[in-house]
Structure 1
């Protein structure tokens, strides 16, 4: 006997892992690709961080064009994003939103086939003009401090920059402790003027002396840095 339900598989994807919207631009575009053998109905919108928001109740001040479209098989399509200005966003730091692209399941006459809409969701940063620091130099300005609590070591990181910074790896080897941070997707990003505290997991592996870490850059790649503990 065959399985009752077919497994859901996403054919539609966004061609980036993050999108930067410079405030100086009237609009930007990103591309959605359909790797499947059939055309797909897609719906796109932005939200302010609540994954349960829908196109009908989001208040993100952006317009996506087209919001709904048919994406042909094995084709790509550009989607334009325009800042409406209806809500004034900070001019001294980045603002974070999320782009959603929903692949709407096609109708089927097979009663044993489960129809599931598959959504792609990536970070969207609105970046003001003339920030005092470049995004490439921002990770070097982070402040690092070791804290001991309940026989465990933690690292407290302060982000005094105007950028969101997303960690990829954190390794620490000092006289006090040696280990790494187990980063989860939900706790890997530190906001402008924000603080994050991470537990350091002891490691027996070889770790270079000092603080060595990497972050996700504007292009979705990884950039490596070193740091010193705050005095």
Structure 2
């Protein structure tokens, strides 16, 4: 019953609209990322309803495909509760427990995504008669990192950002920059700009996985000369920004 109901509401969220008053997300998750350390018994995350109406909250995790059928997703974690009612101005603690049903790498972080879907209350008869009323089911999706005990903690994670090696590349006839991550941590970026001869260009940055490389495109450039400066905003364990720059 859970997954059938879950999929129905997920379909509403992806479609984007149905009838009622709510036009913006009402729930607030207390963090922008979740880090589950291996030696932790569980991890708790607080979710609050900042709106004026009760909501149905459904939660699940995925492995990277945001459109994947939740009934087919297999992850080594449980979430309690998977479904709950959130009254206005009240909160709910969601608890994550590592089940060990899947062995995760011990030499690097593993990444998953936590999904929280808020479904507003059924519209009243009066609201149904108002054709200008719009209702939306909102889905929030944030990263969830499982961190093995042996790779280090917060300080090591922050230092991984400084150790990224940047270089100029060219793929499919387009210029780009490559980030090489030789650490066991995921390094995420919120934004970056490349300065070439005094002119700034946006770089489409994202996340670089452990012991891997990621190439990011640069809008409006066919070639990148040596000596260009890259300024970036990386994201730390607490969702804060770490600013840095490098000359390529």
Same fold (TM over 0.5): yes
The alpha-carbon deviation at position 114 of structure 1 amounts to 4.9
Q: Report the Cα distance in structure 1 between the residues aligned to 2:85 and 2:106, rounded to whole angstroms.
A: 36
Aligned-partner Cα distance in 2 for 1:138–1:71 = 38
**Is 1:116 aligned to 2:116, yes or no?**
no
- 2:203 is the counterpart of 1:182: yes
Pair 1:129-2:152 in alignment:
no
Question: Which string of whole-angstrom CA distances, capped at 9 and with x for unpartnered residues, describes residues 122-176 of structure 1?
Answer: 111111112168101101221221135688542122111111111133344578x
- Whole-angstrom CA distance in 2 between matches of 1:224 and 1:218: 14
Match of 2:231 in 1: 212
Structure-1 separation of matches of 2:20 and 2:51 = 19
TM-score with structure 2 length normalisation?
0.76
Asked if the contact 2:53–2:120 (Cα under 8 Å) also holds between the matched residues in 1, the reply is no
CA RMSD of aligned residues (A): 2.8
Question: Residue 141 of structure 1 corresponds to which residue in structure 2?
Answer: 163
2:209 to 191, 196, 203: 191
Equivalent residue of 1:135, what SS? helix
SS of the residue corresponding to residue 145 of structure 1 reads strand
The match for 2:108 among 69, 72, 93 is 93
Distance in 1, matches of 2:111 and 2:57, equals 23
Task: State the alpha-carbon separation in 2 of the partners of residues 228 and 159 from structure 1.
Answer: 17
Aligned to 1:52: 67
State TM-score, norm by structure 1: 0.81
Unmatched runs of 5 consecutive residues or more in structure 2: 1-18, 222-226
- The 1:7–1:29 alpha-carbon spacing in structure 2 relative to 1, beyond 3 Å, is closer
**Alpha-carbon displacement from aligned partner over 1:59-92 (angstroms, at most 9, x marks no partner):** 1111111111111211122111001100111111
- The alignment covers a number of residue pairs equal to 218
Q: 1:147-186 to 2 correspondence within 5 Å?
A: 147-148=169-170, 153-173=175-195, 179-183=200-204
Structure-2 change in CA distance of 1:101 and 1:189 (3 Å): same
Question: 1:71 corresponds to which residue?
Answer: 86
2:218 is the alignment partner of 1:200 = yes
